[in-house]
Amino acid sequence: MTSEPIPEKLNVLLVGTGGREHALAWRLTQSPHLGKLWVESSANAGLLELGTACPEEFSLKRKYYLERWLVQEKIGFIIIGPEGPLSEGMVDALASPDRAIFGPTRAAARLEWDKAYAKTIMRQTSIPTAEGRVCTTLTAALAYVTERDEPCVVKATGLCAGKGVAVCKNKDEAIAAVKRCMEQREFGAAGDSIVIEERLEGQEVSVLALVDGRTITLLDTVQDHKQVGEGDTGPNTGGMGAFCPTPLLTDQDLQSIARDVFVPAIDGLRRQGIEFRGVLFAGLMLTPAGPKVLEFNCRFGDPETQVLMARFRGDLLRTLWLTAQGRLDEVEFSFDPRTACCVVVCAHGYPGATTKGQLIKGLIPLDRATADSGVAMMFHGATKAAKKGETVTNGGRVVGVTSLGDDLEAAAKQATASAQSIEFQGAFHRRDIGFRVLRQRQISG
Ligand code: AMP
Ligand code: GLY
């Protein structure tokens, strides 16, 4: 390892096309070290305003072409947002002494792409998690849910964009969920084996940490609302809205979580000869018996990153570059003391199939939000640039609207009002992001 300073100008490729990447790109473009920012050719309309589109689809299937293009454009740093390319081994495939890559290798990212493996690591290293079992056949899974008396949760072990989890109230729901995975194969090969675990109760928190192989730096905590309906009802989604920071964990709690969750996870991988670099993200349930891990992700969360980036103060490019270099101890950043709240405006049908191509009205460019703190930041998710400067929908989570406020109530109120101003056919959003914490405050206040 060297202690060379970050290059004066660094050409960066940001992989990923959604709201997380738009928020990251926005902070990256504020770095004095950014040379040229490249984004994927299929990037959303917001990203395409901040970066230059790669000439062709960025896919590992064309590794030879990619390599040549990276060299030709003197790309010195690749930042990978989504789990898909990480699970495919993009970090392994593009590793080179000439460039840094932010994100874990395929082996390290297995903590996310194989929930059965994550459970094994958790068991081996005594990380607190829900009690459960991995089933690889329909018969075994049906027998297990039938013999259990307590409500359970059925999870496809592979990647399903946050939708492969069924939180079941009773046996009938559990049996139906098992059949959807293993008989109807709703999630394809991702559901060929499933984790069935006890249903935990409590508030959820997303704890994200930068990890450089050895050093672990926890970021401020976020709460994401995963269910599509108000009051946390209906099927799971990738995330309908989030806020940061949460009042749910004290600094002391976070130290315990670092010690009991993050350190053992990183050590458990290291014992298998695997080094983790990138973001490790623990989805936690705060149960009466203490925090328990629901899942690990190996990347920035979405919408978590939208609220984290709204509050991030520092040089994001330098932060991620030093992390990728194994030099996290040199990084300096802080968070805006205000609360950020994000409300995701979705297309009708989400988390199921949606209609694309609906004209979006009411979008406000990010530079206006930066100039005037009363204007919400609108990070594009599934949008597409269309003719005559118009922007149309291109999937389920269309735009994330983030506001900063002196407290959660103020931030949530403003984000919800601004989300209302985004218009397209079939648009909907939740109006109760943050309700659990706000309700708790009312009760205790
Ligand atoms: P996961 O992808 O494993 O984080 O699951 C997605 C969502 O399902 C979580 O954010 C929780 O809301 C819910 N969930 C997952 N596991 C459990 C569990 N054991 N008990 C209760 N809810 C859960
Ligand atoms: N919002 C949850 C995730 O990114 O997985």
pLDDT per residue as tens digits for the range 246-301: 999 999 999 999 999 999 999 999 999 999 999 999 999 999 999 999 999 999 99
pLDDT per residue as tens digits for the range 326-349: 999 999 999 999 999 999 999 999
CATH T-level fold of 137-192:
Dna Ligase; domain 1 (3.30.1490)
The pLDDT score that the predictor gives to residue 438 is: 95
Say how many residues make up the chain: 445
pTM above 0.85, yes or no: yes
pLDDT per residue as tens digits for the range 7-61: 999 999 999 999 999 999 999 999 999 999 999 999 999 999 999 999 888 788 8
The pLDDT score that the predictor gives to residue 371 is: 67
Phi, psi of 349, rounded to the nearest 5 degrees: 105, -25
What is the whole-number distance in angstroms between the Cα of residue 5 and the centre of ligand 2?
A: 33
What amino acid is encoded at 435 in this protein?
A: F
Decide whether any atom of ligand 1 lies within 6 Å of the 118 Cβ.
no
Domain ranges of the chain: 10-103, 137-192
Look up residue 325 and give its DSSP letter: T
Taking the C-alpha atoms of residue 303 and residue 410, their distance in angstroms, rounded to an integer, is: 19
CB-CB contact of 248 with 203 (8 Å):
yes
The average confidence (pLDDT) of the chain is 94
pLDDT per residue as tens digits for the range 159-177: 987 778 999 999 999 999 9
What is the whole-number distance in angstroms between the Cα of residue 356 and the centre of ligand 2?
A: 22
What is the whole-number distance in angstroms between the Cα of residue 419 and the centre of ligand 1?
A: 26
In the CATH hierarchy, which top-level class contains the domain 10-103?
Answer: alpha beta
- Closest to 228 measured CA to CA, from 344, 333, 355: 344
The pLDDT score that the predictor gives to residue 388 is: 86
Q: What percent of the chain has pLDDT over 90?
A: 86
Encoded tokens for 179: 């059949």
Examine the pLDDT at 372 and tell me if it is beyond 80: no
Per DSSP bridges, beta strands 10-15 and 75-80 are parallel
Encoded tokens for 382: 């599934």
Decide whether any atom of ligand 1 lies within 6 Å of the 405 Cβ.
no
